[in-house]
Amino acid sequence: MRARRAAAVVAFALLSGSAAAQNAVERVAIKGAQDMIVVPKDWNGGLFIYAHGYTADKRLLAPFPADPSKVPLLLLPGLASVPPGYAAAVTTFRSVGWYVKDAVKDIENLRRYFVKKHGKPKHTYIWGHSGGGMVTEAVIEYFPGTYEGAAPMCGTGAGAWRNFNAALDLRLAYETVCRDVPAARFACRVCSDGKSRCLADAHCPAGQTCGDAEAPAAPEDGLGPECTAFLLDHPETFTESPTSLGGDFVTPPLTACFGDLNPGGTPSAEQAARKDLFLRATQLRESFLATDMFFATIGMAEVVHRRTHGHHPWGNIDVDYASPLLTPAEQTALNAGIPRIAADADAVRYMRRFYEPRGRTRSKVITVHALDDGLVLPENEDKYREAFEAAGTSDRLVQLFTPTGGHCIFLAAWTPALQALTAWVEEGQKPSTASVSPTCGNCLTDQTPGPWGLRVVERRAKGAPVRTLVCSAEPGDCPAGATCIEAQHHCR
């Protein structure tokens, strides 16, 4: 959070006062997306387009404010961290939630508008954080020759399908561990009219009160359709921030099962035991518990009810839950008790299209990821690397890691990584940890994340043929019964 406040200060300096007299600032709406362009007076002819991170908060879709101090924090990196001399362009996208399909269109619309208004840039770059990292990865493959450089940071490089399979695993482990705690169910309440959803009386129509909880939806749905619609219309009831708890909706069920999540909280012996089992089973960082469970509820529900027509892109048939932190007896009990869900092929194909990286791009790519990221696991970078290996484009990928920074809060590395990208594209200086780290106060590390298979294993599903799964002979890289053909980096 301190890093984001620092970015806000820089952005305010760029877009206000004397700086505003030097910068050309334009706000425009294109096909439902709100956009902002900043061209510096000393423009060097280069352009950085920014893809913001995931949000389910529809308040982000408002036009950019005239007061630069009120630009939403989620959009500020795209304005505050671009190297000096380069133009910056940022878009809200036209939708929130799992916006990848819309985002690809909105970024291309913004780029074309910029070219029409300002001419073709000498060099065009794209970068983004978190979900915006995935959008960056998608754009450079859908338009493989358009961007000379790209910087997906803390991105879901393993792809949407794998990351939401992991969210399903979290949700099902939670349901298994907390099944004997009625108050631990994720569900909305029902107003006295018998149909409106609520969390408090103020959410109900005039004269109505907020009553008992609705019947919980199947966990693979995330939530029921009515509850999903209510929550997405009331973003003040949840938070997606990895630095705070999950809001009025997510926190109460977690508290019922695991006890007070605040530092210094005193759970009961039963609550402490349940939390310990859950954390060992999932290998989840406790500080990310609420944020990860947001995606295992509201995040999943938004996909099911607004993107895939009620079908499930995730499943866990034949998955062996074998966390090394569990005893053999605990592993047996978890595998026996956890629900089994079959994925729907059409939904799997949708999530692989929006998006699963394949490494097929002519862009030069620098990724940055923190090793202590508990939301988008740093092992995502393993799968992203494997995609480039399978495509034969490994020479176009450089992966950098910070030892700390959690989910995307490694501000010191943002601009230096972008500067390293421009030097690679424009001067042919391919970066490395050794060359970039001194420029960011030695913020990088040579340590790399462990194998993806230690936490998330590949799985069989209709819509994801085994031969399409990339691998490098790491544990869990291929589903049970399949092997990795290392020369091709594909499962067989």
With a CB cutoff of 8 Å and minimum separation 6, the contacts of 487 are none
**Distance spanning both ends of the chain, measured CA to CA:** 44
Sheet strand arrangement including 123-129: 23-30, 33-40, 87-91, 46-51, 123-129, 149-153, 364-370, 397-402
Q: Residue 50 — φ and ψ, nearest 5°?
A: -115, 135
Percent of the chain with pLDDT over 70: 96
Q: What is the pLDDT of residue 451?
A: 86
Q: What is residue 97's predicted lDDT score, i.e. its pLDDT?
A: 98
> Given the DSSP bridges, would you call strands 484-485 and 149-153 parallel, antiparallel or unpaired?
unpaired
Phi/psi of residue 365, nearest 5 degrees: -125, 130
Element housing 49 (H / E): strand 46-51
Q: Please, which pLDDT band fits residue 3 given cuts at 50, 70 and 90? A: very low
pLDDT of residue 296: 98
Length of the chain: 492
pLDDT in tens, 342-380: 999 999 999 999 999 999 999 999 999 999 999 999 999
| pLDDT for the residue 457 | 87
Q: What is the largest CA-CA distance in the chain?
A: 68
How far is Cα 433 from Cα 142, in angstroms, rounded to an integer?
28
State yes or no: pLDDT of 14 exceeds 80: no
Average pLDDT of the chain is 94
User: Which tokens go with 241?
Assistant: 């921030």
Burial of 264 (0-12, 13-18, 19+ CB in 10 A): exposed
CB 409 within 8 A of CB 76: no
Query: Coil, strand or helix: which one is 224?
Result: coil
Annotate 403-426 with b (16+ C-beta within 10 A) or e (fewer).
eebbbbbbbbbbbbbbbbbbbbbe
Q: Averaged over 265-272, what is the pLDDT?
A: 96
Amino acid in the structure at residue 252: P
Phi first, then psi, for residue 222 (nearest 5°) are 80, -65
pLDDT digits 0-9 by tens, 51-73: 999 999 999 999 999 988 899 99
Mean pLDDT of 73-77: 96
Q: Is the pLDDT of residue 301 over 60?
A: yes
Q: Is pLDDT above 80 for 130?
A: yes
Higher pLDDT, 197 or 12: 197
In this prediction, residues 63-92 reach a mean pLDDT of 95
Is the separation of the CB atoms in 26 and 37 below 8 Å? Answer: yes
Helix (H) or strand (E) holding 348: helix 345-353
Type of residue found at 335: N
Tell whether the model's pLDDT for residue 443 goes beyond 60: yes
Give the per-residue pLDDT at 410: 97
CA-based torsion, 251, 456, 218, 318: positive or negative: negative
For residue 245, the model assigns a pLDDT of: 86
Rounded average pLDDT over 182-194: 97
Residue that has been written with the tokens 């399979």 in this structure? 165
Q: How does residue 74 score in pLDDT terms, banded at 50, 70 and 90? A: very high
Give the pair of three-digit tokens for residue 459: 């799985």
- In 3D space, the residue among 173, 209, 198 whose CA is nearest the CA of residue 249 turns out to be 198
pLDDT tens digits, residue range 456-476? 889 999 999 999 999 998 889
Sign of torsion, CA 404 406 409 414? positive
pTM, two decimal places: 0.95
Secondary structure (H, E, C), 86-128: CEEEEECCCCCCCCHHHHHHHHHHHHHHHHHHHCCCCEEEEEE
Residues in a beta bridge with 129: 153
pLDDT at 119 over 70: yes
pLDDT at 18 exceeding the cut of 80: no
Query: Quick one: pLDDT at residue 64?
Result: 97
pLDDT score, position 243 = 81
